[in-house]
Amino acid sequence: MSWAGFKKTVNRAGTTLLQKTGQIERTIDREFAEEEQRYKQFQKETTALQKESKAYLDAMRAMTAAQGRLAETLDTFYGAADKNSEGAMAGHAYKRAVDDLDAGIGRELDAPYRTTVLEPVGKMCSYFPTINEAISKREKKLLDYDAARSRMRKLIDKPSEDPTKLPKAQQENDEAKEVFEALNEQLISELPELLALRIPYFDPSFEAMIRMQVKFAEEGYQKLGAVQRYFADNVRDDYAAGQLDAQVEGVLQEMKELSICGA
């Protein structure tokens, strides 16, 4: 930081302190305060959207990876007992279906999701540092303006013996006011425009996300549904009739009665 920059920082810190003690009047701009509050809320929501959007894709990858490990275990489990049994064939078919779904994540969900969802959200979030810097700059220029106005008013209320001080203070006040008002008007004008664009900007991403989820769910239903043909007819009928729970309870009861299980 340069010496001039250091002096400005110190002077602004002093102005802030004097404002807190009521010795320097602070400019209150309610219109900007409202727009800034709306923007901060938008920034918070968009940042959360970016985080959750990425978490969704990570969760889908984790789910298909876990499903793949489960399918491999089941395939090995049934294959070790009898490779020609209906259970072994069902386990192998399930593994093939899950492998296809896992490959589909990268082909039909991962890349398109990044392009249509993560990248647009990330691009919007990339604007926030620049906007925040402009808001911070406005705050600094407001402090400069408040300080210059205070110096000018003191010289008006209590004239100095040096006749050049008041004109100089008036000039500094006018210059500080002009710089501040230019930044202030720009932000008051452009912040609402940014917020007004958020719905049309994110609408295509939201629609694309829903379409991709629907497609992935439909393919999952088709591929996993095809595994049912490897089950015996009575198994499918019992499942439809809600009788499988009773059968599982029966098997568990038989296991409990075995001496090895501590009966």
Question: Which of 68-72, 142-146, 162-166, 239-243 is least confident?
Answer: 239-243
Give percent of the chain above pLDDT 90.
29
Q: Can you give the pLDDT at residue 190? A: 93
User: Average pLDDT of the chain?
Assistant: 81
Task: Tell me: pLDDT of 18 over 60.
Answer: no
Q: What is the mean pLDDT of residues 26-34?
A: 81
Token pair 């959750």 in the structure block, residue = 52
Task: Tell me: pLDDT of 6 over 50.
Answer: no
What are the tokens at 81? Answer: 């007992």
Q: Can you give the pLDDT at residue 189? A: 93
- 45-83 per-position pLDDT tens digit: 999 999 999 999 999 888 888 888 988 888 888 777 666
Q: What is the mean pLDDT of residues 203-211?
A: 91
Which amino acid type is present at position 52? E
Q: Can you give the pLDDT at residue 9? A: 54
Sorting pLDDT into bands at 50, 70 and 90, what band is 131? very high
Longest dimension (CA), the chain: 109
Residue bearing the bigger pLDDT, 38 or 258: 38
Sorting pLDDT into bands at 50, 70 and 90, what band is 10? very low
- 94-117 per-position pLDDT tens digit: 888 888 888 877 777 888 899 999
Residues 6+ away with beta carbon under 8 Å from 74:
91, 94, 95
Q: What is the mean pLDDT of residues 205-223?
A: 88
Give percent of the chain above pLDDT 70.
78
Q: What is the mean pLDDT of residues 147-171?
A: 84
Question: Which of 27-31, 66-70, 120-124 is least confident?
Answer: 27-31
